[in-house]
A and B are shown apart, each in its own frame.
Chain A
Amino acid sequence: MNYRVDINEEYKKAKSTYLKYSLLFSLILTLVLGADVLLVILAKEDYTVNLIIAIIITILFGWFSIFFFTSIFGDINNRYRYFKGYEEGLKPVEEIEFLKKSDELCYINGLYVYPIYVRYFIGLSVQDKVIFTLKNDLEYEMGDKLTIKTYQRILIEAEKHS
C-alpha cells in the first residue's frame, strides 16, 4: 500500500489558482482606478459628492487589498511557492514506523495540513516526531514500517515494507 502526492498535478492546480486570483485582483484594481479617474474627470466645480464616492470606493478597495494579500492570496501564494520550489528543495528519504494520524487541521508554512505521528530509528536511538500530510487519506496502521520521502516536513511519498 503506497502513498504518493502527485506534485505535478498539485503544482498545476496551485499555479492556476495563483494566476486566476492575480488576474482577478488586477481586474478589480483596474476597475477601481478607472472609477476614480472617471470620478475625477466628471467632477464639476462642486466635487464633494464625487470625492465622497471616490473615497468610499477606494477605501473599500484598500481594505479588501489588505485582507486579500494577508489572508486569501497569502495562502494561495504560499501553496504555489511550496510546489514551485519542490524540484530544488531537500527531500530526505527515511525509514519510519507509523504511529497514528490526526484529524486536526493545522496551518504550517502557509499550508493547511494534517499531522501524523511517526517514530524514527536513528542509530540506536528512537525519536518520535510529527510530520504532515496535505490530505487526511493515509490508511496505515500503528506499527507499519514505511520508507517515506518528505519535503519541508510534509509527506510526499510513502511505501510500506512488505
Chain B
Amino acid sequence: MNALRKRRILSVFKYTWPFYIISAVIIGILLNVLFGVTHRTPRYKTFNLFVSGEVFDHKKLKSDILETYKDKELKAFSCTSVKYGEATYDTKLSVAGYNTCDVLIIPVSKLEKVKVSAFGLALQDELITSYYQGYSFFSQEEVKYGIKINKEKVSEYMTLPSEDCYMILSGKSPNLGIYSKTPNEERNISLLVAKDWGM
C-alpha cells in the first residue's frame, strides 16, 4: 500500500507542482498587500513637497525635515521636483503637485497663469497672525495664498528659479492644523514648514 501510495503521490505531484509555486507567489503578494494596507503610514504622518526647481540634496532635505518635525510624529517625506519650464512641468504639477503635495513651491510667473484658489489654501487673517506676521504673500483676486520663500534657507537643498517663488499650502493637505478638512491643531507641519522657510 505504501509503495503504491508513494508512486501515486509522485505522479500527482508531477502535474500539481506548478500550483505550489503559483500559490507561494500569490500568498506572498496578498500578505504583502494586506500588511501594507493595514500598516500604511497615515497620510497625516507624511509630508509631500513639490518643488519647481532642482533638488540636489534630497537625502539631506529628507533627513532634516524628518528630524525637525519628529515630535509631530512625521514618519515619511517625499519630494517631487521638476525644473520650471521643462516639458513635463505642467503634467507633474497637475498630477503630483495639486493632488498629493502638502506644500508647493511655485514661481510667481506660473502662479499668475493659474487659478490658485482651485488648489491652494486661502490665508485668512487669523492664520497670518498666528504664523506669518510680517511675511510677504502672493495674492490673487485680493486673497492671499502663497508665502514668499526665503531662498537662502533652502539653498543647501535646492536651486529655485531666479524670480520670486511662493509656497502654496495645498487645501487638500491634512497637515494644516485647524485649517485642514479634518482639523487637528497638532497636525500642522505644512504651516510650520512654510513658516520656517518663508520671509
**What are 12 A-B contacts with C-beta separation under 8 Å?**
A51-B32, A55-B28, A59-B23, A62-B20, A62-B24, A63-B23, A66-B16, A66-B19, A66-B20, A67-B9, A71-B9, A107-B4
B-contacting residues of A (Cβ < 8 Å)?
36, 40, 43, 45, 47, 50-51, 54-55, 58-59, 62-63, 66-67, 70-71, 74, 105-107, 112
Q: Is B113's beta carbon under 8 Å from chain A? A: no
Interface size class of B (residues with CB under 8 A): 20 to 34
Asked whether B27 is an interface residue with its Cβ less than 8 Å from the other chain, the reply is yes
Quick check: B31 and A71 within 8 Å, CB to CB? no
Q: Which residues of A contact B35 (CB under 8 A)?
A: 40, 43, 47, 50-51, 54
* Chain B residues whose C-beta falls within 8 Å of the C-beta of A106 in the assembled complex: 4
- Give chain B residues whose Cβ lies under 8 Å from the Cβ of A74: 12
A105 in contact with B4 (CB, 8 Å): yes
Question: Is there contact, CB below 8 Å, between B8 and A107?
Answer: yes
Cα–Cα, bound, A127→B158 (Å): 94
Q: Known contacts A63-B20, A105-B4, A112-B4; decide if A47 and B31 are in contact (CB<8 Å).
A: no
Contact between chains at B16 and A58 (CB < 8 Å): no
**Bound CA–CA A36/B28 (angstroms):** 12
A63 to B17, CA, bound (A): 10
In the assembled complex, the Cα of A58 lies from the Cα of B32 at a distance in Å of 12
Top 10 closest pairs, chain A to chain B, by CB: A62-B23, A58-B27, A59-B24, A51-B35, A70-B12, A105-B4, A71-B9, A47-B39, A59-B27, A47-B35
Assembled-state Cα–Cα distance A105/B38 (Å): 53
Which listed residue, B5, B16, B32, touches A70 by the CB 8 Å rule?
B16
Shortest Cβ distance from residue B10 to the other chain A in the assembled complex, whole angstroms = 10
In the complex, which residues of chain A have a beta carbon less than 8 angstroms from the beta carbon of B31?
36, 51, 54-55, 58
Interface mask (B6-30 → A, CB under 8 Å = 1, otherwise 0): 0011001000100110011001100
B1 interfacial contact with A, CB 8 Å:
yes
Whether B34 sits at the interface, judged by CB under 8 Å, is: yes
Say how far B72's CB is from chain A's closest CB, in angstroms.
16
B75 within 8 A of A: yes
Interfacial chain A residues near B4, Cβ < 8 Å: 105-107, 112
B18 to chain A, nearest CB (A): 10
Question: Would you give the shortest CB distance from B42 to chain A, in whole angstroms?
Answer: 11
Separation in Å of the B25 CB from the closest CB of chain A? 9
